[in-house]
Structure 1
Amino acid sequence: MTAPTPLSSLSSALADVVARTAPSVVSVHSHRSRATGFVWKPGLIVTADEALADEGEVEIGLPDGSRVVATIAGRDHTTDIALLRTEAGVAPVKLAATVPPLGALSVVVATNRDTPSAALGMVSASGKSWRSLRGGDIDARIELDVRLRPGQEGGLALDATGEAFGMAVLGPRRVLVIPTATIERIAPQLEARGRIARGYLGLGLQPVRLEDGIGAMVMNVDKAGPSAAAGIRQGDVIVAVNDQKLSGVRALSRTLGPASVGAVVDVAVRRGGEPISFKVTVGERPEA
């Protein structure tokens, strides 16, 4: 019998890692879209929100080849996490709260054309928390040097020991991982409420350049919103919030995360060139 080589031992170890995880990984079919998901809790599947169609039925392809209907329990565009509910009796995967170090090997276990698939790569970036372009707080910056097909988006990223440290998604130019900490923070809220609360001022804003910086002109006001109740009007120019000069409309929107709901903020505006200050209680953004 031929003695195992280091390479054959590595190959066997990787195959075992994939085999242990694959039974908890499913394919996700929505309108003109295929993706991957994994069983987070019994009857609940996490998948990539970006890969999920905005309308139509959702079906889950199970490891045994059968399909079951699923409903959308909730979705959060900002963190790219969607939660599906189904009656399928597939065992959930155990997520690990580890963040792999730079240079570590990683295996993405996913599906491709309804069959299990795997891709081997390396952790090409491992760093601190960051904010997505859509304003979602991601608990760790993890990038993978691995090539994934669109149908593999939403697969599980595993380290060399087989621990699942997050969900692999397709970024603009790289494969990113939504880490376990983010999934465990967002998914329970989606299960309970179907959405993530976001702050709401009730204003339509347009950036304007001022002599001493940047402002945001109020183009329209939600009459039932918190800013209208505080007295802010169309035509006002916001110059600062909580004594911090405005750096842009997008930057202001990014401050309106889940923790902002219910907070009272000081909004400094110019009305007809005169400075005025308002106290606004941040509301919760309506679903529509």
Structure 2
Amino acid sequence: MRNDDPKTLARHIVPLVRPSDVLFAVGPAFDGRDPWAAPQLLLIGPGQPPRGVTATVGAMRWGTYSVAGSDPVRLGFWTSQELSAIAETVEHLALAARVPAVRAHFPRLDTGTRKLLHDLRRGEVLAGASEAALWRERLGLDQLHVYVAAIHLRRFAARRRQAEGLLDDGDVEDAGWMLSECGAELLAALLATTGETNPRRHWHPRLLRLHEKTVGADEAACVLRLLRHGPCGRDGADAIRAALWDADRLHAQILRRCPSLPDSSARSATVARNP
């Protein structure tokens, strides 16, 4: 058994944890990406962090600690107040998914917040199981993949419009770059349809390979072509327009794969065109 497995970590960290706290093991070592990566812990609690944890209320901080002679452990602290504020944003997201009038003010979840939600969803609870269950329910983590898909499809729609505008202006080079951005957004949305919510873009191609049987070989090949596409000679504009048509078809397939997404929230901003 590794000296940094969850049970060993819990035995040495739990004494720092108060009854109202929750301790998770998170990161690539515990969500299936890299079982040999350095462990990371995430602590949630009200007010000031417990003794031995360096953090300030209202600030998301990480520190590095050695536990019983093991390799250094990354430990992050989030206050209950911070999570309550995130829960309000998530509630707004859920409302925006149901009510068209709210979608004009679609809430924003930055990468750091989405990383936190992903960790809370996929992490292993080491202490405070009942509190962890309450937070997972309040944060709507069972629907996190739906929110992630909606966020990235909206971004895809915006980047697609930019690509079309650049082509109309004769700026083929920047349109090719924007096409790769369209591919990145569709890749994140496609992964979300499998339940994958990791927001780190550099992990997405590897995660696509892991989920290729679920998403389908054709869809995986299509999104990778979009990521790697670029302008090519005088035929570049036509090639990019053809690739945008492929992107639209992949967008429609993502909507079919994720029926929880309302069509109007993700489809309205994208107008498919024949190449």
Query: Above 0.5 in TM-score?
Result: no
Calculate the TM-score normalised by the size of structure 1. 0.24
Calculate the TM-score normalised by the size of structure 2. 0.25
The structure that is strand-richer by fraction is 1
Q: Taking CA–CA contacts closer than 8 Å with sequence separation of 6 or more, which of the two structures ends up with the larger relative contact order?
A: 2
